[in-house]
Amino acid sequence: MTISAPIPDSKLPALGTTIFSQMSALAQQHQAINLSQGFPDFDGPDYLQQRLAWHVAQGANQYAPMTGVAPLRAAIADKTAQIYGWQPDANDEVTITAGATEALFAAISALVRPGDEVICFDPSYDSYAPAVQLSGGVLKRLPLQPPAFNVDWQRFDELLSARTRLVIVNTPHNPSASAWRADDMQRLWQAIAEREIYVLSDEVYEHICFARGGHASVLAHPQLRQRAIAVSSFGKTFHMTGWKVGYCVAPPALSAEVRKVHQYLTFSVNTPAQLALADMLRADPQHWQQLSAFYRAKRDRFVQALSHSRLEILPCEGTYFLLADYSAISDLDDVAFCRWLTEHAGVAAIPLSVFCADPFPHKLIRLCFAKQDATLDAAAERLCRL
Ligand code: PMP
Ligand code: GLN
């Protein structure tokens, strides 16, 4: 008699492999130019790499403190003060995490109880929903419409209920490349001020924002930040997505709850990488100060090159993603079109509908422009032939 291995009753039955893994694998299989998963095809700063090697050689190879190494938390607190006009307490309000992904998961796990409602904006980044589901929360998705993907604040008010516990904000927004204004933060505050609702603000693209008025951070809003967990990622800022170092900033009571989860999810984050990042933040603040200009030039180059294509390019106010409408080229739905594009045109992209719960009938794809100019030019040449 053979005894078959048990198949667990899945806690996430509807979930497959992420679209990012799927499309990157397909790109590799077909040797397509990979503009799908968001990562640079160039390296981060030499200095950062040297500092990593140096700290490894100095023996900084054991566990970091649970909340993160002190020099990195201090450098983040100073950077926050410089940009948003408010200095978090480095000990009680800044926590280093294994990428933004861990901070998001820890924050959702710490705050959401069974039956709690969580509001997010669709299309929404793919890591929010599974975390909410695992906590027993109920996700209420507010659909945003192209081309501007603005929030309809009246509809937002209508979504609020006595069970609303958390609002997940993401600005600049992946995948739409739209960005909130300070007015949006104020409007959010007005909507939740009288209720016990918290805000999880995913700001991993805080330094890649082209909007007039710059990035509107929850941390720049004096009332909202008392209710908020702001999340960022050094992967985006220093072109090192593989290092997986991120952080969150939140008031002491919220930070304490996030840390309760963090200490059993990962306990602590790669020690030499944290020390190197602390050195980098101190030695070269110009890197992050000039990041928007760096990516604006790439965006503009790519948009210009695509102006000869039949793609219609949507406005891009932030992130390193560009949305393109392909309805002049194909009738395929976006998932099928991205597959076709990878296999037959040699360019991999991400479909937008996978980030939405409701049907998303638009013919939109997301193209990552965090690439060397030569890569962007080669991709544009292929896209212009369609
Ligand atoms: N949030 C958003 C909106 C992202 O785009 C990403 C990654 N691209 C993350 C979170 C995760 O960041 P990390 O790689 O630091 O975990
Ligand atoms: N956040 C990256 C993107 O939007 C992908 C990260 C991942 O692969 N999980 O493409």
> In angstroms, how far is CA 344 from the centroid of its own chain?
29
* pLDDT of 48 over the 70 cut: yes
Dist. CA 247 → ligand 1 center (Å)? 11
Ligand nearest to the CA of 104: 1
pLDDT in tens, 132-143: 999 999 999 999
Q: Is 176 in the pocket of ligand 2 (CB under 6 A)?
A: no
Residue 249 vs residues 95, 190, 268: alpha-carbon distances, Å: 7, 22, 16
Phi, psi (deg, nearest 5) at residue 329:
-105, -35
* pLDDT of 3 over the 80 cut: no
Rg (CA), the chain: 21
Which structural domains are found in the chain, ordered by start?
19-44+287-384 (3.90.1150.10), 46-283 (3.40.640.10)
Q: Is 37 in the pocket of ligand 2 (CB under 6 A)?
A: yes
Q: Which atom of ligand 2 is nearest to the CA of 37?
A: 10
Q: What is the C-alpha to C-alpha distance for residues 204 and 99, in angstroms, rounded to an integer?
A: 10
Choose one of 23, 26, 37 to mutate for the ligand 2 pocket test, by most ligand atoms within 8 angstroms of C-beta: 37
Residue 4 — pLDDT band, cuts 50, 70, 90? confident
In this structure, what token pair is assigned to residue 214? 């710059």
Ligand nearest to the CA of 206: 1
Q: 119: Cβ–Cβ under 8 A, 6 or more apart, which residues?
A: 139, 140, 141, 142, 156, 159, 160, 164, 166, 167, 168
284-313: average pLDDT: 97
* pLDDT of 336 over the 70 cut: yes
Q: Is 44 in the pocket of ligand 2 (CB under 6 A)?
A: no
* Beta strands per DSSP E along 78-194: 94-97, 117-122, 138-143, 164-170
Residue 326 — pLDDT band, cuts 50, 70, 90? very high
Choose one of 174, 240, 270, 295 to mutate for the ligand 1 pocket test, by most ligand atoms within 8 angstroms of C-beta: 174
Q: Is 38 in the pocket of ligand 1 (CB under 6 A)?
A: yes
State pTM to two decimals. 0.97
Beta strand 164-170 with 117-122: parallel, antiparallel or unpaired? parallel
Q: Is 318 in the pocket of ligand 1 (CB under 6 A)?
A: no
158-163: average pLDDT: 98
- Amino acid identity at 372: Q
Dist. CA 233 → ligand 1 center (Å)? 7
Ligand nearest to the CA of 368: 2
Residue 48 vs residues 123, 174, 215, 279, 299: alpha-carbon distances, Å: 34, 26, 25, 8, 25
Dist. CA 295 → ligand 2 center (Å)? 17
Q: Is 125 in the pocket of ligand 1 (CB under 6 A)?
A: yes
269-287: average pLDDT: 97
Choose one of 20, 26, 239 to mutate for the ligand 2 pocket test, by most ligand atoms within 8 angstroms of C-beta: 20
* pLDDT of 2 over the 90 cut: no
Dist. CA 245 → ligand 1 center (Å)? 10
Mean pLDDT, all residues of the chain: 97
Q: Is 37 in the pocket of ligand 1 (CB under 6 A)?
A: no
Q: Is 174 in the pocket of ligand 2 (CB under 6 A)?
A: yes
Choose one of 21, 24, 39, 236 to mutate for the ligand 2 pocket test, by most ligand atoms within 8 angstroms of C-beta: 39
Q: Which atom of ligand 1 is nearest to the CA of 245?
A: 15
- Amino acid identity at 103: A
Dist. CA 310 → ligand 1 center (Å)? 30
* pLDDT of 1 over the 70 cut: no
Burial 348-366 (b: 16+ CB within 10 A, else e): bbbbbbbbbeeebebbbbb
